[in-house]
Copies of this chain bind each other. A is one copy, B any other.
Amino acid sequence: MTTFDSSAPRVVCLAGGVGGAKLADGLARVLPPSNLTVIVNTGDDFRHLGLTICPDLDTVLYTLAGVANDETGWGRAGESWRAMSEVGRLKGPDWFSLGDLDLATHLTRAHWLDAGETLTAVTSRLCEGFGIAPAVLPMSDQPAPTLIETDTGDILPFQVWFVRERWQPPVRRVILPEDVRASAAAVRALETADVVIIAPSNPFVSIDPILNVYPIRAMIEDVPRAVVAVSPIVAGRAIKGPAAKMMAEMGLEPSAAAVARTYGHLIDGFIYDCRDEGMAAEDGLALLCADTMMTGAAERERLAREVIAFAQELLA
């Protein structure tokens, strides 16, 4: 295993949940901590049982801390469910599962938010509590709820569609809020980044919400640097979650090529899975095929190294 040294590029990784968390973990394993900032989607945050729940942030935190439940893709390993079972018995809403260990994160976050701290500051405290060295930043300190308009015209909060309705209602469009601003910390990280990596997360409900936060898209477009994206679609299917299903419903071919076209001129390089043989370069987009599945820690590290090396070539 090689780790990039002090001449390593300064990397900002835009991440959603599982895929983003795994690549972020790979990057954390090969980069000096001060060279990595993970900016995480908070569009699927919601208020539940009186608490602010940040599913993508928590998946990234748990993965970087080595306490994630890799089988479910959410929540913590070794979890127990005493509080949640009792909520069910008391006829409280139990459609969103919060384990006893997971609850500690939400309770601690609620304490500091109640004390007036920003979500950025609270996330930094949680990183410290979990022993996470790289910076993990919410995309914004403002609420920025993603809404899903279904084919029947219903408009659902993201988690209601994603978890309660098990992402089954077909999606007509994703509605993102206007006038959300990035935190100062996120802007600072982007200002000094050599490389921006768009993780293999859902382009529409994980990455677009981040790009939609002012001025993140403009900063990525305008500043000269290498911007690379990793495809979340492998062989026409999402590794996990609704990305492929959503693309089909929104009139897009569910393919790595369609993901690359979605990002368009925003990206300089695109990493697709070697299983997707049909990828062809267009418009001068640099391409790299890799094994993107990240089934274990070694695969995360390897992919992270390949992504960084690919981006460094684009910088040169």
A110 to chain B, nearest CB (A): 2
Q: Which residues of B contact A50 (CB under 8 A)?
A: 50-52, 106-107, 109-111, 113-114
User: Chain A interface secondary structure, helix, strand, loop or mixed?
Assistant: helix
How many chain copies?
2
Contact A87 B104 (CB under 8 A): yes
Q: Which of B82, B101, B108 contacts A92 (CB 8 A)?
A: B108
Q: Which residues of B contact A109 (CB under 8 A)?
A: 50
Contact B114 A92 (CB under 8 A): no
Interface centre among A51, A100, A129 (most CB of B within 10 A): A100
Q: Which residues of B contact A84 (CB under 8 A)?
A: 104
Residues of A90-109 at the interface with B, using a CB-CB cut-off of 8 Å, are: 90-93, 100-101, 103-109
Contact B108 A49 (CB under 8 A): yes
Asked, given contacts A100-B100, A101-B86, A103-B103, whether A92 binds B80 with beta carbons under 8 Å apart, the answer is no
Q: Which residue of B lies closest to A82 (CB)?
A: B100
Q: Is A47 an interface residue (CB 8 A)?
A: yes
Q: Is A125 an interface residue (CB 8 A)?
A: yes
Q: Which of B47, B91, B114, B126 contacts A47 (CB 8 A)?
A: B114
Contact B49 A126 (CB under 8 A): no
Q: Which residues of B contact A110 (CB under 8 A)?
A: 49-51
A233 to chain B, nearest CB (A): 36
Q: Is A89 an interface residue (CB 8 A)?
A: yes
Q: Is A83 an interface residue (CB 8 A)?
A: yes
A1 to B255, CA, bound (A): 75
Q: Which of B87, B101, B126 contacts A107 (CB 8 A)?
A: B87
Residues of A14-57 at the interface with B, using a CB-CB cut-off of 8 Å, are: 47-52
A151 to B79, CA, bound (A): 46
Q: Which residue of B lies closest to A87 (CB)?
A: B104
Q: Is A130 an interface residue (CB 8 A)?
A: yes
Q: Which of B83, B89, B128 contacts A100 (CB 8 A)?
A: B83
Q: Which of B52, B83, B92 contacts A83 (CB 8 A)?
A: B83
Provide 27 A-B residue pairs closer than 8 Å at the C-beta atoms, listed in order of the A residue.
A49-B110, A50-B50, A50-B109, A50-B113, A50-B114, A51-B51, A80-B80, A82-B101, A82-B104, A83-B107, A84-B104, A85-B104, A86-B100, A86-B105, A87-B104, A89-B104, A90-B104, A90-B125, A90-B126, A91-B108, A91-B128, A91-B129, A92-B107, A92-B108, A93-B111, A103-B103, A103-B107
Using a CB–CB cutoff of 8 Å, the interface residues on chain A facing chain B are: 47-52, 80, 82-87, 89-93, 100-101, 103-114, 125-126, 128-130
